[in-house]
Structure 1
Amino acid sequence: MRLGELERAVMNELWRRREGALARDLAEALPSHPAITTVLTILERLTRKGIVSRTREGRAHRYFAVESKDAHVAGLMQEALAGAGDRESALSHFLHSASVDDVAALRRMLKALDPPEAQN
């Protein structure tokens, strides 16, 4: 699920804060310093999308990222592949644009998925 610019900024803060954050803390931490009501609106939207959870803390809520940033990015990659007309072609284009380090990491991960007898 793609995020808007302010949603992404809020999520980046939540991903950095494993202990979660209050809306006012997020508003103060964001470079654009949006109003707390704006941040609350974004947090409500992210909660409805299932990306953020919240717990009551006094009269406020503490917000948490439901999944890690890496898991979120993996979901975006799956979403992009699902929308491709030809998954193999999309993967081929991706691999041709990937860095040497990324390709090496993919090779290591694919090799680890092979059964032991296939690795010889």
Structure 2
Amino acid sequence: MMMAGDRRPPGDLERTVMETLRSAARPLTPREVQNLLGGDLAYTTVLTILTRLYDKGLLDRQRVGRAHAYSPVTDEAGMTVRRLHQVLDEAPGREIVLARFLGSLSRRDGQLVREMLRELDARQAPDEGD
């Protein structure tokens, strides 16, 4: 149990949640993950972590009643994404690592990244009616 003022290392909670999901025999709901982690974390904290991991492409989810059940992605692309996130979470100077990586891309890969970022921005832009 952590004391007041104690902070987890960056990525520690995500790693713990991923380990919990990997050790499960089936997809788990946020409440089940919360209970397996000892119940010390707020439900909203667990849900936020699961949502972030899903958004990063590290988890699959399926509807179970009113909630979702989450499981680790097992395809090769998903595993590569997971490893990249681990490296970034553990690296001092995240921005430096990202800048050097982007600077090392071929012209073709750089163009592909730019196109993907434009598409992502377009999907995340608020509707004009909002």
Provide TM-score, normalisation by structure 2: 0.50
1:5-62 Cα shifts (integer Å, max 9, x gaps) = 1101100000001311010011111146211110000001000100011000000100
Misfit runs of 4+, over 3 Å: none
Distance 1:28 1:54 in 2: 18
8 Å contact kept, 1:18–1:64: no
1:20 to 18, 27, 30: 27
User: What number of residue pairs does the alignment pair up?
Assistant: 76
More helix by share: 1
Give the gaps of 5 or more residues in structure 2. Answer: 1-9, 89-96, 98-130
Distance 2:11 2:39 in 1: 14
Distance 2:83 2:58 in 1: 11
Q: Give the aligned partner of residue 63 of structure 1.
A: 70
SS at match of 1:21: coil
Give the gaps of 5 or more residues in structure 1. Answer: 84-120
Deviation at 1:75, TM superposition (A): 3.5
1:37 aligns with 2:44: yes
Compare CA radii of gyration and give the structure with the larger one.
1
Distance 1:31 1:22 in 2: 15
The AA in structure 2 aligned to 1:40 is: L
Distance 1:24 1:61 in 2: 10
Counting aligned pairs with the same residue, the percent is 41
Superposed, which structure 2 residues align to 1:37-116 within 5 Å?
37-67=44-74, 71=79, 75=83
